[in-house]
Structure 1
Amino acid sequence: MAERNKNLGGQLVKQTHMFFGSEKQYASTRGIDITGILLNELNKYKENVEIMTDTTIVGMFEDGVVTALHKEDNYFKIKPDAVVVATGAFEKALAFPNNDLPGIYGAGAVQTLMNVYGVKPGNKVLMVGAGNIGLIVSYQLMQAGVEVAAILDAAPRIGGYLVHASKIRRMGVPILTSHTVKSAIGKEFLEKAIVCRVDDKFNQIEGTEIEFDVDVMCISVGLTPLNELLSMRGCQMKYVPQLSGMVPLRNENYETTIENVFAAGDTTGVEEASAAMVEGYLAGLCAAAKIGHMTDDFEERKNDYVKQLESLRSGPVGKHILSGIEQIVIKGEQYV
């Protein structure tokens, strides 16, 4: 197992909110605590797992060789029987004048500062994006004593759960839908933000500008699958808007178009962390079976994971995700 950070856990290590889902997806458990649960499970099999932290996978080649770089000075090669790529996703940026001023962060960076290192990113924040991440991080900012001036979203309605939005509104924070950032103002760091309304085609409407005195702008406008390694390996990729970007074609066992190369989690399409964890279990189970390590209860466990995913994708958002998955799943030799 290779991880470029110093510790395992990915995004979970900075998620202090409680998860939704069912008991099997650790509902009502905080992300930071789920990390410990998963690590304890992994430690049960430590004789069979070599964990390499501070290790970046820098290449996957057509001869099956995987190249790794440990702590920037130890370059080595691995020749695995199978690979599971679970590299997650990266934050999308937003284009506007002066969007590179210090004080303008992605939501993940703000979570890292606050929840991992205990550092306030600033004193007054404008949150851009009213999806679940934007709403949750706004609440966490207020818990840390940071004022949230407003939350805005270019869409005509919020994208996050109403339970999160209601909590924010009760604390007096305005949520401005059909608004976007027009520009950022500042010399050495962010001092002001200018926002304005947009029409139904997301064009800015002149004369609707609002000025906010803020020293932090938090950009939370979605994620894009991080799968350059899959492209490098030669996996067939497809742009699927419902899955937030380029994703690998795969079969029902999460195996890509390159034999014994599997993918799971946000690298196959951006969803909630609960779905990513279940996909990880499923891809690992199928990868092990493919190289001769099928468990006695393989079918039972596989069916259970599939049912968990069906439950997680049962709502309106899930329907949207499923319409994307239908475009990438290989059934037999046909692409759906």
Structure 2
Amino acid sequence: MPKVKETEILIVGGGPAGLSAASAAANLGASVLVLERDGKPGGQLIKQTHKFFGSKKQYAGDRGYQIGDLLIEQCRNNPNLEVWTDTTVLGIYEDGVVTAEGQGKHLKITPKKIIVATGASEKMIAFPNNDLPGIYGAGAVQTLMNVHGIVPGKRVLMIGAGNIGLIVSYQLMQAGVEIAAIIEAAPTIGGYLVHASKIRRAGVPILTSHTITEAYGDEGVEGAIICKLDESWQPVLGSEQDLKVDVVCLAVGLSPLTELCFQADCQMKYVPELSGHVPVRSEYLETTRPGLYVAGDVSGVEEASSAMVEGRLAGISAACSLGYGEDIAPKLQAEALAELSELRAGPAGQKTLRGIINLMDKGGVVC
């Protein structure tokens, strides 16, 4: 690796959004460098074994890891594109210099445009003994099982009935792990009912309006106390249940990883519908810092399908701003925006749209 690297477009994060952005920009002729902190690009896709929904354009019917491999192959075969793995971005500075650490070296990159596609981190919830060994985030459980082939335990309490909680529960069951229950604080299941139906057919209870009050155990999780919640989200006295489990898995949502956007002095807004603080940006995903774009969960938590389309939109927009593909970029941008509208057409997507409108109303720059 050179100590100083010049590139036209630097992409921070090699997940579904970052890889899609890289291919789109490089296909228009821009020189692109992707920095990925893990040893293999692909992000969350590499541990997703379930099949995707949607249309053929969003790889419907393919499994997450297959889509990840396809995106990696597209990048590998593009002469305009480099991917540096095991490389962590440290900062984006006023003069446009980006610093990173890779293979024990301090690196400087001077890009003309930057796309931040850092994704999101798992949320945690507070309850007594939530630091016991045996308490995991759902993403960590997926990594253990689907990347390393290790089951986290024998009997699991899943907290959260969104898509992640339901999918990971089913994957645990496929691996021979018993699911004691799935509990959800909200009065309704948040994930797709097709996922919930598979769980229920296997005899696993999904308890809505329930929460965990504590975990217990000496050197690791031995059990958990759960209880029912009333209409005011308060515990119902006498409704406690003691579940003997050796794993508590938390699937309670994600938070956008926006530290670099804060550090780069992007204008930020807290938008609950987008799961936290996100950068104000234009329709074409350029932030209030000129030349810095965002894509994927860092701009608001959604499904991987939306992240890939946002990545493509950001890549096209960044390349076009450098003069590449000016004849076809508007058409490609319009197609990506139409795809995003389709993906956000359902009930879950309406929440995202409200968040984006809220964000734009608070100062978003629209191209």
Are 1:303 and 2:334 counterparts?
A: yes
Are 1:35 and 2:53 counterparts?
A: no
Are 1:3 and 2:39 counterparts?
A: no
Distance 1:251 1:132 in 2: 29
Q: Which has the higher contact order (CA 8 A, sep 6+)?
A: 2
Pick which of 34-43 and 244-253 moved more: 34-43
Q: 1:59 is matched with which residue: 73, 91, 116? A: 91
Q: Which ranges of structure 2 fall in alignment gaps of 5 or more residues?
A: 1-33
* Deviation string, structure 1 residues 275-299 (Cα, Å, up to 9, x no partner): 0000000000001111222353212
Aligned residue number for residue 82 of structure 2: 50
Classify 1:200/1:66 alpha carbon distance in 2 versus 1 (closer, same or farther; 3 Å): same
Are 1:144 and 2:175 counterparts?
A: yes
* Deviation string, structure 1 residues 91-117 (Cα, Å, up to 9, x no partner): 100100000000000000000000000
Are 1:209 and 2:240 counterparts?
A: yes
Q: 2:201 is matched with which residue: 170, 178, 200? A: 170
Distance 1:110 1:332 in 2: 39
Classify 1:85/1:211 alpha carbon distance in 2 versus 1 (closer, same or farther; 3 Å): same
Distance 2:256 2:208 in 1: 26
* Deviation string, structure 1 residues 102-135 (Cα, Å, up to 9, x no partner): 0000000000000000001000000000000000
* Deviation string, structure 1 residues 120-154 (Cα, Å, up to 9, x no partner): 10000000000000000000000000000000000
Q: Is the 8 A contact 2:282 2:364 kept in 1?
A: no
* Deviation string, structure 1 residues 217-269 (Cα, Å, up to 9, x no partner): 10000001111000000000000000000000001110000000000000000
Classify 1:202/1:284 alpha carbon distance in 2 versus 1 (closer, same or farther; 3 Å): same
Distance 1:146 1:291 in 2: 52
Q: Is the 8 A contact 2:282 2:365 kept in 1?
A: no
How many residue pairs get matched?
333
- Amino acid paired to 2:85: T
SS in 1 for 2:167: helix
Q: 1:122 is matched with which residue: 139, 147, 153? A: 153
Distance 2:275 2:175 in 1: 31
Distance 1:64 1:292 in 2: 19
Distance 1:186 1:62 in 2: 50
Q: Which ranges of structure 1 fall in alignment gaps of 5 or more residues?
A: none
Distance 1:6 1:109 in 2: 16
Q: Is the 8 A contact 1:252 1:331 kept in 2?
A: no
SS in 2 for 1:326: helix
Offset at residue 68 of structure 1 (A): 0.2
Are 1:132 and 2:163 counterparts?
A: yes
Offset at residue 331 of structure 1 (A): 11
Pick which of 56-65 and 240-249 moved more: 56-65
Are 1:317 and 2:348 counterparts?
A: yes
- Amino acid paired to 2:74: E
Aligned residue number for residue 137 of structure 2: 106
Distance 1:285 1:201 in 2: 47
Distance 1:331 1:224 in 2: 20
TM-score w.r.t. length of structure 2: 0.89
Q: Is the 8 A contact 2:280 2:365 kept in 1?
A: no
Distance 2:323 2:363 in 1: 21
Q: Is the 8 A contact 1:21 1:312 kept in 2?
A: yes
